[in-house]
Chain A
Amino acid sequence: MASTLRPYLTCIRNTLDAAMCLQNFPCQEVERHNKPEVELKSSPELLLNPVLICRNESEKCLIETSINSLRISLKVKQADELENILTKKFLRFLSMRAEAFQVLRRKPVQGYDISFLITNYHCEEMQKHKLIDFIVQFMEDIDKEISELKMSVNTRGRLVATEFLKQFI
């Protein structure tokens, strides 16, 4: 399992390195407006090919780029029901606090667990390679967090059950 994690993250890092070529581009339809083109998809000439990188059947990453914005959507591995619930709750917790993360999207794209939206303004304020480091680090940490949460839920459940059933001994 760990043997595919390194190449998967390297592939995503290289693709992001190539795809994060953003510049300011005011809206073509409405004057004095500036919108992230990857969200609107109004003009095909402003969009690049979307890239889907799958690690296996359950984990994938969709990278869509346009002239002034980049959207990264992740689907995290969910082995069983418990991980499913934990992932949904944890990522919903993060998405609701998207203001603090700046690059996080409030709602994930349909079919994925979490989405990032990076615009040219983010690239101007922050360093491009640091943004990519953040995304890749996020992906590594998500897996660790979910496993830790699952372990703590199981431990707590076991303790509670032991205590409760002691009265019947």
Chain B
Amino acid sequence: MMKFRFRRQGNDPHREKIKQDLFAFNKTVEHGFPNQPSALAYDPKLQLMAIGTKSGAIKLYGAPGVEMTGLHKDTAAVTQIHFLYGQGRILSLLDDNTIHLWEIVQRENRSHLIEVHSFNLPGRPGIESTSATRVTVMLLNLGCDLLALGTEGGGVHFLELPTLTLLNKSLFQDEVMQSVPEEYKCGKSLGPVESLQEHPKDSDKILIGYSRGLVVLWDLNSRHVDNLFLGKQQLESLVWERSGNSFVSSHSDGGYMVWAVSSSNPCTHDPISSTIPYGPFPCKAVNKILWRTTESGAPLVLFSGGMPRASYGDRHCLTILQDSSHVTLDFTSRVIDFFTIHCTDRDKEFDEPSALVVLLEEELVVIDLQMSGWPTVPAPYLAPLHSSAITFSSHISNVPPKFWERMISAGQQQCPLQNYDNWPICGGKNLAPDPKQKELLLTGHEDGTVRFWDASGVSLKPLYKLSTANIFQTDCDHNDSLTQAGEEEWPPFRKVGCFDPYSDDPRLGIQKISLCKYSGKLVVAGTAGQVIVMVLSDEKSDHMIDVATVDLLQDREGFTWKGHDRLPPKMGPVVFAPGFQPVVLVQCMPPAAVTAVTLHAEWNLIAFGTSHGFGLFDYHRRSPVLARCTLHPNDSLAMEGPLSRVKSLKKSLRQSFRRIRKSRVSGKKRAVVNSPTGKVREANAQLAERDAEVTPVQRRIEPRSADDSLSGVVRCLCFADTFLRDGTHHGPTMWAGTNSGSVYAYALDVPSLEKFSEQSVEALLGKEIQLMHRAPVVSIAVLDGRGTPLPEPYEVSRDLAKAPDMQGSHSVLIASEEQFKIFTLPKVSAKTKFKLTAHEGCRVRKVALSNFTSVSSEEYSENALVCLTNLGDLHVFSVPALRPQVRYDCIRKEDISGIASCVFTKTGQGFYLISPSEYERFSLSARVITEPLCRMDVERPHDLSAHSSSTTLPPQANGTHKTQAESNSVETEDLLEEMRSALSSPVLDSPNSSADITLDTTGDLTVEDVKDFLMTVDEAENNFRNITEEDGRPPGILIN
């Protein structure tokens, strides 16, 4: 960093101001489903839901768009969350046995979640081991002024709220034991406290359930045992019946019991009823049970677990029982927790549950309990992005409204219940303005599906799902019939949820997607060299798909493909629902994974590349135009299909995972870390870490050679209407870049619209460029005479973009992993370049051309090259000068999958995966920011945040600061100008000034710095002196 100091001083302050108006880095929102959720809570008064994760995050969700996140300082798993109803306060219990109090506070007219208190239960020195004071359950009384903690040692402790001070009225087992009859004691301890439940009518009484089975109704005031229930089965959970006349206990043998509470009989030996719903064979534990009364009659019983061990022990189930209605919801991932949304008004006689919310390890499922058949309710947020692993993502900005509507209607025909009006969790107010334009995020998945998401706002909503598997003959077809047969058996399973990580044929995996938003044409390319051209259609169709094969080897000798076979297409016509319907299937030979694809709908052309070469296909005439092999003669690895080898390894891994899943896992809900399996897992993780550390510490320094393996992989393809043959005639061109730094440029002869059917497209090789440094070519783009990127197909003909400048000379921007270079066209002589790797030691992973609009004026915008490197930092370069503008740290460099998944938008935002199920959205633009803006108004007694208001806002998950948006007035500009004239003279004399090198400082400028500019010149000058002296540099040199 030191070395840039001198150069920075040469910076033009005017330019600095512009840069500040253009660029600002913020991590704005996380889309998708939180990774590894571990706790769930609901506040019926505020209608807010909270989800805790194993990484120590708490996420609040209300109405769509209302989202808040808090992060514990220690990354311990959140094991329990409880709302202080209506107060906007949350208690969280962590895996490290600490309790934290969070509050929703209003800052800058929006709500934030901040931590205000924490508490650690002290052990009784010398008496109990530390594990004895491990909190197992927490109970908040309805008045929210008392917190009861049940511990592993069997004690119950009480804390005052919201101060979290320990009250001196703990209840230990010996006190309870005194009332227990001798024959029950047997000299054994009662075990940990499994459940604490407050009496629904009498807030002085709590029900304490011990692991051994004993349940005690304890009077807090008189410190006296009211009732004893001598259960003999190991206890899992307790729930009161609303009236307080009875309660239900669930047990580890898979059964539940209903107990009557009567004051006449202080010691109850037997329950009213005892049921093992999935007996008589041994069953797994019923982890949690809920008992909800309804006005219509029979109570609703909801419980998780309890499945027969031998036959369905590996299923993740939740049972809903009411009278004769019995549904076993069969989930694909573990049930973390669940709750019902019901009437909590104390005066009402019945619970009347309206909805069931189930948090699973991989998704959130909501069941409507009021409609018959208990259908699922689609969630407007927390979309399980990873229902099948994401293999590719792509972003489409500014989607035309017509195309948007057609896609929505196609999506609604797939899933008719797609309105979120009856979404039951609707607390808070979304303050974010309606998005100005529609944005689409496309994700390609391992199972061959492409999902379309509405990425316009804070919550990512599913719009449409496209499957490509149905046009191929795969083994998964007959699987459906098997599962159907299974569903008629007892128990009455119902498959719920869409998380399905197992793809039946890895060849179906989506590798690349290209969409034309104007024509509704889509190209999807997959792992087995399949390239499918699709057209959006509003009508159902039943047609045959044209299949073409393109041999990319072009008779190269001496190579044999040892990878997977191509996917056999289905014979005969196939029925397609409205939506994207395939018209042509092109199969590359050898069927290696497609590594690049592009589409030009105006010319009816697609280009695709694999590790062997690239091809050009006219999908209108259904004829191949060009095939070119890019293999280096010495490259044998590419032929053997290394990707397929990886895939088969994955397959075997998957099978072993299935085996693990099937193995008997005893259902101890909280024993995540202490259990032996948890320990083994931990040890394994540690081992894996250590393995990662023992990477070879030596690196060979050698230039890239032509015959490095996989040098022929086609990395990027692009179409452009530009000057390739000579400087006077422009025409269609196609560009391809490879892993070994080769670029091939073809001049295309595309017949005019009228002649399209009779005349065929011709491709002529125009230029071949071999980059001397041989680094992989990451991206190619053509710039017009003004240096702006060429518009997309149809944009000009439909008056949606300014026509490119065809008068001035065009240039081509070639971005390799090591450097960016602009060449003039048609001569292809180097014009400007920036050698990123030579300067910074980082390699380019992702690049995109984005347009940045200034915050101070909507008229002013600049094109820039956005780049993500292998170190996870983002760089922005001006185009076409290729001057570095700003640099931000974004992703940890170890997070390879995050870096690989990054995708940029055209307006300076981006997405990357922070977990298999979550996208982090970030913004590089100072103007275009999509972030949650919500307000949650709460009223609470004893406001803690009032006197702790000095607590600074915790760094948002991203840790960046906000740049001011409004304060940049014209006055500032004038002052800046003045200051520059007053202070700039020493700069010009300085031998070190290099005014032409603009390296950015925007990232270093905080709001405070800017405020300095608003002072008078003298004052500002003094301040600058001070700053300079503090920094230990001569005052004459440092000027902004």
* A and B bind: no
